[in-house]
Structure 1
Amino acid sequence: MRTSASWGDQVSPNQAAKQRQIIEAAKQVLVRDGLAGCTVRSVADASPLTKSAVHYYFSDMDEIIDQAMADHISSFIERVRSAIARHTGPVDRLWAAVDEYVAIFQEVPRGLVLWHEYWIDSVRRGRLEPLERMFGNVTSIFTELLEDLGVRDASVVGHGLSSFLIGTVTQQAATERPVEGIRSQIAGLCKLDISISAS
């Protein structure tokens, strides 16, 4: 059985297209049914391929799920960066990132559940590298924004801000909080003397 990693340079356009179909199907299944519902059968049913084709192109479901989750995180990052790009001032850019981060999880509450499921499952199975890479990609956004604001140890503070935000959106699922309150807490955590008013 081949894995997507073992294809190397031998991947033909047709093979790459089949792998992409599998990942796209897995993304749909993950959002709809969660981690437990993402099986070879459900992915095959959501794609034009058979179960045997899924097994042929990927060694196991972990590999498919990791790639599908990485795609979801890439889309998340792209949307946050698009929100940032609409602003020029460093303060407005930070708040644009925070606001968009919170808004995405409000719009797709299943995404929050999925992220927590994936996090817990990855820790249980000791598959931490993909998880750390995804979290690091999100954290890098806030590190860059905090560097632009002249924050010392921006990478450490950015990591703390990412952790704070995932906790905040989890709390938001139960009790919605005004954006000014979230901004005020972030300003305090990051030791920022900046405006927290909505722009």
Structure 2
Amino acid sequence: MSAPPVLRDVYRTLMERRGDAAASITFDDGPGPIARLDVFVYRPVDPSGLTTFVTVGMASAPMPAPEGGEGGRAELWLSRTGALAEPDERQIAMQLANLAVYPWKTGRAVSWAQIVGFEHDFPTFPGCPAVFLAGPLLTDTPDWLDTCEGKVRVITVVPITEQERAAAATMPPMTFAGNLIESRNVFTAPDPAGA
């Protein structure tokens, strides 16, 4: 089965912006319209660079929203400092795939400035059982991808601690995002001593 035109557009834009991925991890038979989800892995050129994960498949349909509306289309991006072992890449890809189908499992769309919690820590981010969903944090990350179905939002996934999650509940999302970026490197696991 060929990919829907919207996903071909997402893939084409990704190729133009990032080039070929070092790896692609595929998940089949997801819920709702997510029959297939690919997570592309872009490995760093040098050991201190970023490994970036990008989903392609979440945008195959608009996300469900409360009251039966549509929550728009989105794809997820996550960057992690340093090169990772392949089992760690696979665990991160699996967690992103779970997050990508979250709207269809819960009936709630995801977008910027939201927090989603998990039962366990996010892979390779010990002490981070939740994620903050942000707009672009890097200069090479777009806000939106143009497709035949309109704009697809790019959501940056930032693993956060319980303390950070509690702090987020006390302030506006933009203030929280600014404080978080100033307080630590959001592309690596937080220092347990500083948490």
TM-score, shorter chain, exceeding 0.5:
no
- TM-score between the two structures when normalised by the length of structure 2: 0.29
Structure number with greater Rg is: 1
Q: Which protein has the bigger helix share?
A: 1
